[in-house]
Amino acid sequence: MSGGGGGGAWDVIRSALAEAGGVDLSWISPTPTADGWTLAPDALRLVTKLVERLRPAHVLELGSGLSTRVLSRAVGVLGGGGVVSSVDHDPQYNWETDGARIEPGGARVAFQLAPLVVREFGGKLVGAYLIRREKLAAERPVDLVVIDGPPVNLGGREGTLYQVMDYARAGTVVLLDDSKRPEEKAAIRAWQENLGDAISVEQLPGFAKGMAAVVIRRPVSTAELWRRRFELTRAELEGAVPAGEAVFVAGDPWWADEVGLDRAVRPLMEKDGQYWGEPADDAEAIAAVERTGARFVAFGWPVFWWLGYYREFVARLGRRVVENDRVVVFDRRSA
């Protein structure tokens, strides 16, 4: 399916969603249920119908198992030479066992056992799979991604979409299983706050464990993610802070300098106009903000720890006019 702004992909998703109830899963034994580790029956039906409608040449799944069999079979039926890349951290689910295998007559599956690691994405440290590009089933970008791992207690799934961007194209469809859980909801919020209109996201109705769909409008590579976060932050700060007003920055203002604001940027803790380190306590922070007469006080993600450490100081800053995964801005006139 050809990509673009994502509108065509959403048409395909809605068609697949409307028709998924008629998908036959009787070939699966034992019969899948909605209370295990694997994709629930409603999710397996959607995946099958979406493959039929999307006709992907390259599918990537994060979290092997029964979904591997379903994808292998569904892509194989198309007869167009499509392939599946299957990634998991656990050999029990990834080494062509009864849980994850190529179905008879199914598409070729390239299995990859990938350790879970902590990686930096745009200044955030989150869990991710250590994916080796050369071990994927194809060099071409992926058309469909199914995210069913890693588990929450091994880092969760926020990092998955960031790393998927390196293998995606405009129009790539991503399915996130278990999207009813608080951890997955938090991951979705972080994706939206860090990628902005490069993606569009919807929670799909009626799924036992929740299912979210993401359409990638424009891939943002891991190398670009820093710049993307800066661009979004600049737009928000300039929307919240009137021209002519200064932004007073908690902590070292290096990140605000990188944002490239069309506003004056000053360190909250300063001496002779230069950053002068962290306050010793709430009282010193309060004195600094009173001395400078700051109206707008901004906390970038490198100093979010201030928000929990200097609680009395933060309580005096007024209303939060911007608050997301990248920046929190207070307007003291609303105090």
Tens digit of pLDDT for each residue in 240-291? 999 999 999 999 999 999 999 999 999 999 988 889 999 999 999 999 999 9
The pTM of this model reads 0.91
Confidence at residue 305, expressed as pLDDT on a 0 to 100 scale: 96
- Extents of the domains making up the chain: 7-216, 225-334
94, two tokens: 């990834």
| 197/33 Cα distance (integer angstroms) | 36
pLDDT confidence of 98, banded at 50, 70, 90? very low
121, two tokens: 């994405």
Confidence at residue 184, expressed as pLDDT on a 0 to 100 scale: 97
4, two tokens: 């673009």
**Tell me: the pLDDT tens digits for 114-128?**
999 999 999 999 999
pLDDT tops 70 at residue 2: no
| 107/308 Cα distance (integer angstroms) | 51
Q: Which residue has tokens 């955030």?
A: 124
Residues 6+ apart with CB under 8 A from 176: 147, 157, 184, 187, 188, 211, 212, 213, 214
Average pLDDT value for residue range 67-88: 95
Confidence at residue 6, expressed as pLDDT on a 0 to 100 scale: 62
> H/E element holding 235?
helix 225-240
CATH code of the domain made up of 7-216:
3.40.50.150
